[in-house]
Amino acid sequence: MKHLLDMGHLDAMQIHHLLDLTDHMVEINQRPMPKVPALRGKTVVNLFFEDSTRTRTSFDTAARRLSADVMNFAVSSSSVNKGESLRDTIETITAMGVDAFVVRHASSGAPHQITQWTTASIVNAGDGWHQHPTQALLDCYTIRTRLNRTTGFDGLHIAIVGDIKHSRVARSDVQAFNALGARVTLVAPPTLLPPDISTWPVEVSHDLDGLIGSLDVLYLLRMQRERMRDALVPSLREYTTLYGLTPARAARLQEHALVMHPGPMNRGVEMAVDPAELPGSTVLHQVANGVAVRMAVLFELLGSGGEMTADTAADSPDPSQAGPRS
């Protein structure tokens, strides 16, 4: 694997391989000194043209735990503000000698375009409405570990609820969950479904109450008001009434069912209960798993062919290099 751009490029075997590699990274993260020399000498650049809390900090932490050098490119104080093109930015940073760019961009396809301008590996950290592959991998890892599904998701029913139309997470998760064998139902008002929904490998419902009691995973999406050009729901209160996770709906979930959200969440809108009070909430597990999954992705792209060896998995010999625990 040279790049990670799109979940559609990974088959079930490749997804399982990355999730198995994530198991090793979780073990490293549980050590008193969670740092290994696997990517010593490699340089990773975080290039975020859109805001991020989780993805940016977890890639930063992941790269440092593997002993890579990390450059954080601050768009707001860069020559992008003087009109520098994306191509010139990429070619300039490439000339400094880098091994991977982690790219978030508001334009769908930007990470793919960047592969044409650099010899470095590109990891898509979210592009427009298009893809967010590491979110899908961390979601798969969370389901796999919480529901003990090491061999696949056959027989699991997963509902993804909310603003599907604007969601790169939904597009990536549908591909990943489908590849691993889950039954996926999208639940949304018609205005929040994409026009090509009939071509997706999913069922569609407008009735959350009709299926909530049979779900293994309830995956709530954020209402992406910044991407909506029109009022696509009559009011947020009506949206919550029909599609939000209210206390009454939470009470109807199966005992083992997981409640997931990629964050950031709109409390009181799609999440109308406190996730901390839900036994099945995995929101913070998703965040913690994000570090390990991103370690696995960086190691797969930049390490020694995806095999953790005694050398690469050994503790860092320099205790002062140990990073903080998540």
Strand order from edge to edge, sheet including 203-205? 203-205, 183-187, 157-161, 217-220, 258-260
| Cβ distance to ligand CP smaller for residue 135 or 175 | 135
Of 262, 275, 280, 303, the one binding ligand CP (CB under 6 A) is 262
Least Å from the CB of residue 9 to ligand CP: 19
53 in contact with ligand CP (CB under 6 A): yes
Please give the DSSP secondary-structure letter assigned to residue 150. T
The span of 48-56, 67-75, 76-84, 88-96 binding ligand CP (CB under 6 A) equals 48-56
135 in contact with ligand CP (CB under 6 A): yes
312 in contact with ligand CP (CB under 6 A): no
CA 62 to each of CA 26, 118, 299: distance values in angstroms, whole numbers, following the listed order: 11, 22, 10
112 in contact with ligand CP (CB under 6 A): no
263 in contact with ligand CP (CB under 6 A): yes
> 89: which 2 tokens?
């930015």
Least Å from the CB of residue 33 to ligand CP: 27
| Cβ distance to ligand CP smaller for residue 34 or 126 | 126
126 in contact with ligand CP (CB under 6 A): yes
184 Ramachandran zone, left/alpha/beta (phi>0; psi -120 to 50):
beta
Least Å from the CB of residue 275 to ligand CP: 14
CA 148 to each of CA 141, 153, 181, 309: distance values in angstroms, whole numbers, following the listed order: 10, 10, 15, 26
Of 41, 210, 264, 319, the one binding ligand CP (CB under 6 A) is 264
In angstroms, rounded to a whole number, what is the distance separating the alpha carbons of residues 91 and 30? Answer: 38
- Are 316 and 36 in contact by the 8 Å Cβ rule? The answer is yes
- Are 270 and 218 in contact by the 8 Å Cβ rule? The answer is no
| Cβ distance to ligand CP smaller for residue 237 or 267 | 267
Of 8, 20, 26, 52, the one binding ligand CP (CB under 6 A) is 52
Least Å from the CB of residue 229 to ligand CP: 20
The span of 52-60, 185-193, 231-239, 270-278 binding ligand CP (CB under 6 A) equals 52-60
> 1: which 2 tokens?
């694997």
> 25: which 2 tokens?
């990274």
**Stretch 171-230 residues interacting with ligand CP (CB under 6 A):** none
Least Å from the CB of residue 310 to ligand CP: 34
Please give the DSSP secondary-structure letter assigned to residue 45. E
41 in contact with ligand CP (CB under 6 A): no
What string of DSSP letters covers 208-274? HHHHGGG-SEEEE----GGG-SS--SS-HHHHHHHHSB-HHHHHTS-TT-EEE--S---BTTTB-S-
For ligand CP, how many residues bind (rule: CB under 6 A)?
A: 9
Q: Which residues bind ligand CP (CB under 6 A)?
A: 52-55, 126, 135, 262-264
